[in-house]
Amino acid sequence: MRQKEKQDSVEQKPLKKGGDSSEISSRGRHDKLDNKGGAGGIKSGKSLPKAKADMSNETSSSSKYVETSESLTGTMNKMSLTGEAENSSDIKIRGPRSQSKHTPEEWMLLDKESDALSQLNLAIVGHVDSGKSTLSGRLLHLLGRISQKQMHKYEKEAKLQGKGSFAYAWALDESAEERERGITMTVAVAYFNSKRHHVVLLDSPGHKDFVPNMIAGATQADAAILVIDASVGAFEAGFDNLKGQTREHARVLRGFGVEQVIVAVNKMDIVGYSKERFDLIKQHVGSFLQSCRFKDSSLTWIPLSAMENQNLVAAPSDNRLSSWYQGPCLLDAVDSVKSPDRDVSKPLLMPICDAVRSTSQGQVSACGKLEAGAVRPGSKVMVMPSGDQGTIRSLERDSQACTIARAGDNVALALQGIDANQVMAGDVLCHPDFPVSVATHLELMVLVLEGATPILLGSQLEFHVHHAKEAATVVKLVAMLDPKTGQPTKKSPRCLTAKQSAMLEVSLQNPVCVETFSESRALGRVFLRSSGRTVAMGKVTRIIQDS
């Protein structure tokens, strides 16, 4: 959990809203990495495990669809693909890495009997004020992760500010600004165990100004809870295509490969636990999620009230709900989620979401989710794009010291022999023999989202991949694609508009760590944003080596 860790955590400033491309780069390495860590939008020490005590303060371009689809987001998720960067001239552009010669050592492989619980990284997303943080706090309290003494403290503090109903949310929204504004601004992380899973809970911001931070949480998620406010007017506002965030959050989840979603219809007490209201919401949201290519079998619908503790960890006691709902409670639904297979046998790969350095010792810890491989003290590592090499001095998994961490684990890795100024959010930690690609010129296959402004040749956009964001310019509109066949329908179009699929090329202001989607899904899924809105999502199909 996060209570004690708060004193050692490094609070990050929220990412700026919108689209001044001159300020988009996540870099500025030597002069901007201070003891406030990175800019990944995740709370250091909460988002992922805090560092040790001495670290506190701190070649084909013509990929095709293989199935037909009439849906928008579904189009992108049915593609079969082939095949904040450095403000420094000494960063070398590197082509795709080969994993063919990697042979994992025996200690890297998972011993299934060593831990009966599987790791599950669970993002909580939804429109602002839908009750995400209150739901998270209440769940943690019910499961004993927040003591009664701590809960009393939160209740007292909330009442003093005239916000008594925010007490559970304050268990996760601990910064003064978050409490003052009553909204989550960065991704907060907590932990609990279910019968089958060790759950890493990623409580993401719902406000439209902090979607980049929400993206930072979604990129680490194995599954998600989509929280819907059932109250009249609130659901409609959150589901609005222009001003609401429900649709965008769902698209982001699907774009990052999340398939399993628990739809938590919250605040059912406000509508008297009305079955008709629940069914109406399920009809509208379900239809949209289907258009995003979420399968019905991967969706679980839970009516609940976080404030009244109905249907969270046990069957509802209120007859107005239990009279018509006999499905699982929220905790049981979490237990039914399947953990994904982990790439423990592949070379080390960890996008860095936060960097915390010790001002006294000049050392740094890198925080993130291990996407592939395994590490232990003494493991040799490389930080890209700088190319600095060093070793793992010590490591923590979910804020607890450990001797081995494997793919899927959320870790803080204390690095030795690496310049602290060369580690930033948006960098990637990898095996020295298998460095990730670093590029500025990419070919993308994208879907332009509903309601997006047209994309033109020369358009200035925000490019998001894993925890990196960079200013991008559209340098070529290659072709529009048929949404059913994937075949080019028009070469060199003048612009791309909503609901269109296309191939395009972008040039990034600074190099980023990236791979083709076929090589690495974690480093190959991208989002394009402009003026505070996500305008397109897609996949890297080719890394272009400029002469």
Query: Do 130 and 146 have their domain in common?
Result: yes
Q: Are residues 217 and 266 in the same domain?
A: yes
Question: CB within 8 A of 148, min separation 6: which ones?
Answer: none
- Among the candidates 335, 357, 387, a domain finishes at 335
C-alpha 276/C-alpha 470 separation (Å) is: 45
| Half-sphere exposure (Cβ direction) of 301: Cα atoms closer than 13 Å | 18
Q: State how many domains the chain has.
A: 3
Q: For residue 417, is pLDDT > 60?
A: yes
Would you state the structure tokens that stand for residue 467, as one six-digit string?
């925890």
Task: Answer for the pair 60, 445: CB distance below 8 angstroms, yes or no.
Answer: no
pLDDT at position 10: 31
Confidence at residue 72, expressed as pLDDT on a 0 to 100 scale: 38
Check whether residue 327 and residue 253 sit in a common domain. Answer: yes
Q: What is the per-residue pLDDT for 14? A: 32
199 strand-pairing partners:
120, 192
113 in any annotated domain: no
Kindly indicate the confidence band of residue 288, based on its pLDDT and cuts at 50, 70 and 90. very high
Average pLDDT over residues 228-250: 88
Residue 441 sits in a domain of what CATH number? 2.40.30.10
My answer on whether 75 and 194 are in the same domain is no
Same domain, 393 and 456: no
List, in sequence order, every residue forming a beta bridge with 80; answer none if it has no partner.
64
| Residue 441: strand pairing partners | 507
Q: Which helix (H) or strand (E) holds 176?
A: helix 176-181
Residue ranges making up the domain that contains 75: 64-95+437-543
Q: What is the pLDDT of residues 483-507, one digit of tens each?
A: 778 889 999 999 999 989 999 999 9
- 1 in a structural domain: no
Does one domain contain both 68 and 42?
no
DSSP structural state of residue 372: B
Please state, for a pLDDT cut of 90, what percent of the chain lies above it.
47
Both 54 and 68 in one domain: the answer is no
Dihedral class, residue 282 (left if φ above 0, else alpha if ψ from -120 to 50, else beta) = alpha
User: Where in 454-543 does DSSP place strands (E)?
Assistant: 455-456, 460-465, 468-481, 488-491, 495-496, 501-513, 525-530, 533-543
- Over residues 115-130, the pLDDT tens digits come to 578 889 999 998 878 8
- Least Cα distance to 108 among 408, 341, 433, 373 occurs for 373
Distance CA 187, CA 177 (A): 14
- CA–CA gap between residue 128 and residue 228 (Å, rounded): 10
pLDDT (tens digit, 9 = 90+) per residue, 383-401? 999 999 999 999 998 778 9
In this model, does residue 475 exceed pLDDT 90? yes
Residue bearing the bigger pLDDT, 236 or 115: 236
Residue 14 lies in a domain: no
Decide if pLDDT at 455 tops 80: yes
Q: What's the pLDDT at 80?
A: 33
- The whole-number pLDDT of residue 463 equals 96
Give the model's pLDDT for residue 75: 42
